[in-house]
Chains A and B, each alone.
Chain A
Amino acid sequence: MATASSRNPVLYRRRVSRGAKHLMLIGFGLVMLYPLLWMISSSLKPEELIFREPGLIPSEITFENYTEGWDALAHPFSYYLWNSALITVLSVIGNLAACSLAAYSFARLNFPLKKLWFALMLGTIMLPLHVVIVPQYIMFAQLDMINTIWPLILPKFLAHDSFFIFLMVQFIRTLPRELDEAASIDGAGYWRTFFRVILPLCTPALATTAIFTFIWTWNDFFSQLLYLNNPDNFTVPVALRTFLDSSGESSWGPMFAMSIIALGPIFGFFLAGQKYLIRGMATTGLK
């Protein structure tokens, strides 16, 4: 690290302090992740050992918690996983389709009142959900959509998450305009330009949108608690919550086991899509 040494000539001290820094960072990281690691290790311990051992290495490994937790609720856990997956995948598709269409318009096309609509779009980014949730609930209730997945996915197909419109607008604006013009000269209409030229180039922004939508929807508790009251429609978060009710304080092992399974997909997407997550956050500050 030449730049570092040019700032501080005392190389040796530098190296020692760098070593200390790494030690500190690793130690702190361990403290941060300890609860997670503990949950994983606890899920593999027999129930009675969980709270006697604060350490990470189980003295005895069992998968009992997983088999027991899988069948502890009204349906096998796979049922809730499927419900969650369905809503999540549809949400991702909805956000990708609706937000990219809107973003292309805002970023590339000229139309009357554009500034007004764009300002409104930005304004809705920061809008607290609670100010619309009561009338939304009433509306979906009147449409007889409570206990269906519609209240959860319809807003995505209507580009309700304006975050992502903004994200894609920002991205499309970095693409050279000559591309559009070339497409136009080749006879492509607006739809073809969007679909064949802009959209393929937007892959990074689309990936960021997809990953964030996936994680947010998978984690979302409030709307799913609100709209899904029937155990037949429960998703993973709502099902996990019923563990607290049905099993009281006794069966933490199975609850931990199912919690690990619930976190699994997020962890997977995090590993697979880190690059897009970090880049998306850094450019727009969303989380």
Chain B
Amino acid sequence: MVDSLSLKKPVVTPPAPARGSGPVVNRSRREALAAYAFLIPWFVGLFLITVGPIVASFYLSFTNYSLLEEAEWVGLDNYVKLFTEDPRFWASLKVTAIYVVVSVPLQLGFALALALLLDRGLRGLSFYRSVYYLPSLLGGSVAIAILWRKIFGADGLVNAVLGLFGVEGTSYVNNPDTALSTLILLHVWTFGAPMVIFLAGLRQIPSSYYEAAAIDGAGAVQQFRSITLPLLTPIIFFNLVLEIIKSFQSFTQSFIVSNGTGGPNDSTLFYTLYLYLKGFKHYEMGYASAMAWVLVVIIAGLTGINFLASKYWVFYGDSK
């Protein structure tokens, strides 16, 4: 990606620009100066609120810093404590892992299925697309999380509907066995965003492929398996990587549905929620930093594995 950016040398290098500048050297220096000037805000941001904090966070993860007291070097203590003495850390890891492993494939499955249904000149396509896409925009908001809490509450919508069939339900958000499922459902509900990306990917597949396959007598199923699916694997891969990274960092839903506790019984304690509680409720900022780095390693590791595994299933066509 970086390579493709390096701009091709200008087709024609104007030797004497009308600006009246002298030699070419001068011009390229002016260009560099202008570029760096335009990048000043970004540079300030890069060092002040990205690179600087990354370094600081790494350092803090080896201290017991707490905002109120000076940082004291504690070596690997935070990490050791995380892995050996903190059951809530493991609980949050487990909850998040289940959330990601269950909800991402489900979400992408729905996204792909609907994209396939909507593809190829269906009447009303843009209407359906909008309807299915809307929840993706709203899904991360506090308002929807509140709604969810109520839908799956003791006297919520789900139980009201079940009541019509004579089934009596309990509160799903207050039951440790079902609370996480409601959050998974909320994530699946936002399948519209990857669906739109799938739709864009489907449009890239030349219809001549299908025509040729039809002439050769391939049915719909075979066309899907031999044309659509292989050509769509790069998009599936892209969505998979993105959704895993994103869903590992989910916060709002877990916070609102459990009212900031991660309960019941830590069954909705997302990793980021626990990090928030540690860092900004108990002010154990060194500890929270260590947690952040564990998260980075997990996400980077998963993404790395994803890329390695992609060699075996992602099909990049004939890259001309």
**A contacts, CB < 8 Å to B:** 1, 3-4, 6-7, 21-22, 24-25, 28-29, 32-33, 35-36, 38-39, 51-54, 97-98, 101-102, 104-106, 108-112, 114-115, 117-122, 124, 126-139, 141, 154-155, 157-160, 165, 169, 177, 181, 184-187, 189-191, 194, 215, 218-219, 221-222, 225-226, 236-238, 240-241, 243-245, 249, 252, 255-256, 258-260, 262-263, 266-267, 270, 274, 277-278, 281-283, 285, 287
Contact = CB atoms under 8 A, between A and B. Distances in A.
A98 B42 contact: yes
B79 interface: no
B146 A52 contact: no
B193 A215 contact: no
B22 interface: no
Contact of B132 (A29, A109, A237): A29
B251 A222 contact: yes
B178 interface: no
A137 B280 contact: yes
Contacts of B194: 287
B60 A134 contact: yes
9 contacts: A54-B163, A104-B38, A105-B39, A111-B36, A114-B5, A121-B42, A122-B1, A190-B31, A252-B150
B189 interface: yes
Contact of B28 (A110, A114, A131, A236): A110
Given A124-B46, A274-B130, A53 B259 contact: no
B140 A219 contact: yes
A287 B193 contact: yes
B52 to A, nearest CB: 7
Contact of B117 (A25, A191, A249, A255): A25
Nearest to B171: A249
A36 B136 CA distance: 13
Given A135-B52, A244-B256, 5 more contacts: A160-B45, A222-B252, A266-B137, A281-B196, A282-B196
Nearest to A26: B128
Contacts of B205: none
A97 B38 CA distance: 10
B265 to A, nearest CB: 19
Given A115-B6, A131-B293, A184-B17, A244 B146 contact: yes
Contact of A187 (B10, B19, B41, B140): B19
Contacts of A137: 279-280, 285
A110 B31 contact: yes
B292 A128 contact: yes
Given A4-B120, A184-B17, A259-B143, A134 B32 contact: no
Given A102-B39, A270-B137, A191 B292 contact: no
Chain B interface bracket (under 10, 10 to 19, 20 to 34, 35 or more): 35 or more
Contacts of B141: 218-219, 221, 237, 262-263, 266
A111 B41 CA distance: 16
Contacts of B157: 35, 38, 54
> What is the predominant secondary structure among interface residues of chain B facing chain A?
helix
Contacts of A39: 147
A159 B60 CA distance: 25
Nearest to B127: A29
Nearest to A100: B38
Nearest to A55: B160
B177 interface: no
Contacts of B134: 33, 36, 267, 270
A279 B116 CA distance: 19
B295 A130 contact: yes
A138 B41 contact: no
A131 B242 contact: no
B76 interface: no
A131 B54 contact: yes
B46 A120 contact: yes
A216 B82 CA distance: 32
Contacts of A120: 46
Interface in B231-270: 238-239, 242, 245-246, 248-249, 251-252, 255-256, 259
Interface in B1-34: 1-2, 5-7, 10-12, 14, 17-19, 28, 30-32, 34
Contact of A245 (B12, B147, B197, B259): B259
Nearest to B124: A22
Contact of A111 (B35, B256, B272, B276): B35
B129 interface: yes
